[in-house]
Each structure stands twice: as structure tokens, then as C-alpha cells.
Structure 1
Amino acid sequence: MIARRLILAAPALLLARAAQAITWKGEAAQGALLRGQAPPGTTLALEGRAVRVSPEGFFAMGFGRDHDDSANLTITHPGGRRETRRLPVQKRDWDVQRITGLPPAMVTPDESALARITAERARLATARGVDSAGTDFMRDLTWPARGRISGVFGSQRILNGQPRQPHYGLDVASPTGTPIHAVLPGRVTLSGDFYFFGQILVVDHGHGVNTLYAHLSQRIAREGQVVTQGERIALMGATGRVTGPHLHFSLSWYQLFLDPRPLLTGEQP
């Protein structure tokens, strides 16, 4: 990934303030997660939202699928000087994905199913809102499973001919029972069986960065368990709203879904 440097001073002061540069990997773009480092003691806020900075200066921040073409990053330097920088956010074009053959109840749930879905959304929001101090998110992400890419982040979904919300994950299709691995070290904050997602795991990696693994046939990792990168945590399945066995894999910064594909490194396991 490309290392970017945010210049915090005019050219004449660059050398004097070189130690105050903030660096990160990647480009600010719709759906992007940026992971970087600032001088210890720096305070950051993106669009008015506080960005957690570790004692070593590590931080993460994300931009949603439909983010505007710029964002304001407010920086308070260790010495107390404060400034706001306007970051350009690259616009992306999203695919349209048509899915047919779903049971009608999975497209338009009845009232009892809607009550269940509402409760599950609350549980999921709690898990994805965890703000732990760990910095496992700074590592490169490895692939969660081997298989064919059958769905991409950001695509507009049309289910049984009805437009629905965009697809907020990466789908990897393989036979039921295919091993699924943790893409980063972390702690399992949610393990459950949901209406749309089927059997699901959520893993926290620190600073609001979390990953979600859905449509599982078996959950191996337990809620509260600490897992290592590459550890087998589940088996692929076809539970929830699916037309066939696959893994729905999502990356988030708190409640904001992001595109995991640009961050995945190496070969599929």
C-alpha cells in the first residue's frame, strides 16, 4: 500500500516540524480504512468524531461507501497547537449485483421476523461499537477463506427484482465446511445465529476496527475468546439469507462498513 504523509506546516517550517508528520497506509477513498501513526500525544478528530490514538501514536479511521469528496481532519499537536486539514476523498464507482431465487420471506420479512431482526441489529451494533485499546488492526490482513469471489463491497443489490441496500462485504464462495480463518488477531465479541446473516462471528481488533464472518455452518471460536491471525475460527455454510454456501466477510470501523479487499494480502489459504 502507498504510504501517505500529511504535511502539517508550510515548506519553510518543514524541517523544523518533520517529527510532527502524520503518516498512514493507503489513500483516502470511499470505503477505505486508513491505518497510521502520529507523534505520541497527538489528538485527532475526523469530521468532528474523535479518533483513538494509542500511546505509541497508532490510529485508524475510515470513510463510508458514500462519503463526500472531502473530509476534515482536526489535529491537536502534543504542544497544544490545533489545526484542521481538508482531505480529498476519492470517489468510487460501484457495481450492480442482481440476486434471484431467494425465499420471499428473506426479501420481505413478516412482523415476527422484523422483531427478531431489530433485536439482532442491536446486538450487532453493540459488538461493532467496542472501542478497545489493542492495536492488532495495524497488521496486514490475511485472507479469511479459499474460494471464488462471488460478491464485492459497495455493489447495489437487487434482490428478486427489488432494489435493496448496498452489499457491505466481500463474498467468498466454496463448499460447506470450508475452513474460515481470522484475518487479524483479536477477541470474539459476538457469536450468534441471525435471521439474515445466519451463524455469525464478530472479532474486535482494537480502536473500533472489527471483522464479521457470516453464513457459517459451524462457529468454532467462542464469544470472548482471543484468536490469533490465521486461526481456524469457523466453517463455511449456507445459513441465513443465501442462495448457496459462501462466506460473507465484512470489515468495519465502529458502525461504518468498509471495503476489505484492498487490505487483504498474500494468497488465499
Structure 2
Amino acid sequence: MKLHLILGAAMCLLATSASAVDLQGHLQPGGFAVGHVEPGATVLLGENPIEVGSDGTFVIGFGRDQGTAAQLTIVHADGKVEQQELSVAPRSYEIQRIDKLDQNMVTPDPATEARIKADQAKVKAARANPSNRRDFLATFIWPAEGPISGVYGSQRILNGTPKAPHFGTDIAAPEGSPIVAPAAGMVRLAETDFYLTGGTVIIDHGLGIYSSYLHMSRIDVVPGEEVRQGQVIGAVGKTGRATGPHLHWGLNWNEVRLDPALLLPPRP
């Protein structure tokens, strides 16, 4: 039996052998693909069970440091088990240096660290219950206009100190420039004053796919609000840990951080 994976036009088709699972998506670090099995089937990526929608649709995603192989397991409703070894394309990353930051933003004191952890707990809670939406199947659009100033996976060196990689796409734009929803969804979080990310919005696009928008100067949506593609959700800013006005656009599959730029063709 073949498993047919479907995704919008922005995704590329991956060739597989006749006996393999048909895949359409980005099998590389930061990428994701969408699949479909009969209702009642169970899907695992490695040893981890995957959320399967009521119609059998599911998503698999790969983090920044994913190796070159992964195993997909399907346990069908009749008990039949199928396994497929997935080949994951390797990827290299840039090194990005950012200087002249407030040192407390780089090495926070205990009180600030506690505040950061409280902010992170709110973000985790916002992504805790994946919905059965299908908005992620649409072709995404860019959420803001401007040059790309930061890319997914780059190693960040802040004030000379190596830090966590950059998980998202940065779009430089004047403060107050509009930010729009790149796809329809439901707002799960809208916070104006997170310590590191400032004005922060998270939108649920379904089955664990969430987009996030950081450093916003203005937020025009509230949690629970349904947004349509192209709707203005706020404005570009430089709140939180930012050296200038820009939008940090992130994408998650549950807690796995993905590359939103893979959803779209390269910008001119």
C-alpha cells in the first residue's frame, strides 16, 4: 500500500522508488511534509507517535539538527505494520554575529531568567493542544515586506558569546510596517511584552503547525480570534531583544522548530 502525501503548490515533489511511500514536501532539516492514512491508523516518526487528524491527515517535521535518515511507521487499523526509511537531505548553516546588545539580554540575571522561563511557559501552553485545522495546506504568503536580515539555523554569536541558533526568518522593515497572516488560522497567543521577543503572536494552522511573529510594535489580534490569509495582525517593531526594527517569523511543528522560508519561493 502506498501512502500519498499532499501539500500545497509551494512544496516540491520528492521522487521515491515504486515500493516506497510517496512523499511530497521538504525532507530536510527545517522542513515538513503532510501525509494521509485511513482513519484509525497510527503513525510514528522514529519512536514518537504523530497526531493524526480525523480524516487520516498527519504532519511530520524535522528540526535543525536532524540526521540524514528517519523512519516512518504506519500501523493500519487492521493491525498491518509498514515501515519506510526516509532519506533526509543534509543542510549547512551560516554564522551570524550580533554585537552591541544589552549584556543582560545575552547573560540574564536570575530575576530576568525567571521572567524568560515564565514567557516560555506561556508559549509552550499556546502550542499544547494541536487543532484539527487544515490551514497549513494552503500556499503561504510573506507576512511582511523587506529584505531578509536573518535566516533559519544560523549560529548566533551575541556580544562575542556563542548562543542558540536562530530559528526563523528575519524581515527588516520600518517600524510600524504591517504584518499580515501568511495563512488562515486561529490566534493562540498575543502578548505585548515578552522579555526576549517583545510583542509576540502565535497562530495555529492545524495538526501542530504554528507560526510565530516576534518583536512587534503593535498587536491587532486577540487569542481565539480567527484570522484570514492577508489579514493585518500587527506591526513591525524592535521590542524585546532586537537591535533594530524587523519581524522574526517562526514556524513550529509542535515543539520542533521549522524553517518558514521553505514554504515560499525565494524573494527577488
For residues 31-180 of structure 1, the aligned pairs below 5 Å read: 31-180=30-179
SS in 2 for 1:205: strand
Tell me which residue corresponds to 1:184: 183
Tell me which residue corresponds to 1:3: 13
| Structure 1: gaps spanning 5 or more residues | 10-20
Within the alignment, does 1:246 sit opposite 2:246 as a pair? yes
| Structure 2: gaps spanning 5 or more residues | 1-10
Are 2:21 and 2:84, in contact at CA under 8 Å, matched by a contact in 1? no
Deviation at 1:187, TM superposition (A): 0.8
Measured against aligned partners, the alpha-carbon deviations of 1:96-127 in whole angstroms (never above 9, x if no partner) come to: 00011111111111111111001111111111
Tell me which residue corresponds to 1:231: 231
CA distance in 2, matches of 1:241, 1:218: 16
Deviation at 1:42, TM superposition (A): 3.5
Instruction: Output the amino acid matched with 1:215.
Output: H
Deviation at 1:163, TM superposition (A): 0.3
Tell me which residue corresponds to 2:3: none
Measured against aligned partners, the alpha-carbon deviations of 1:41-85 in whole angstroms (never above 9, x if no partner) come to: 432111122222223332211001001221111112343310222
Instruction: Name the CA shift for 1:39/1:22 in 2 (closer, same or farther; >3 Å).
Output: farther
Instruction: Output the amino acid matched with 1:77.
Output: H
Deviation at 1:39, TM superposition (A): 4.2
Aligned length, in residue pairs:
257
Instruction: Output the amino acid matched with 2:80.
Output: R
Please report the RMSD computed on the Cα atoms of aligned residues, expressed in angstroms: 1.9
Tell me which residue corresponds to 2:196: 196
4+ aligned runs moved over 4 Å, structure 1: 5-9, 265-268
CA distance in 2, matches of 1:46, 1:131: 17
Instruction: Output the amino acid matched with 2:168.
Output: G
Within the alignment, does 1:27 sit opposite 2:37 as a pair? no
SS in 1 for 2:123: helix
CA distance in 2, matches of 1:121, 1:55: 30
Deviation at 1:28, TM superposition (A): 1.2
* TM-score relative to the length of structure 1: 0.89
Instruction: Output the amino acid matched with 1:211.
Output: S
Deviation at 1:203, TM superposition (A): 0.6
Instruction: Output the amino acid matched with 1:250.
Output: G
Among all aligned residue pairs of Structure 1 and Structure 2, give the percentage whose two residues are the same amino acid: 42
Are 1:22 and 1:37, in contact at CA under 8 Å, matched by a contact in 2? no
* TM-score relative to the length of structure 2: 0.90
CA distance in 1, matches of 2:18, 2:113: 49
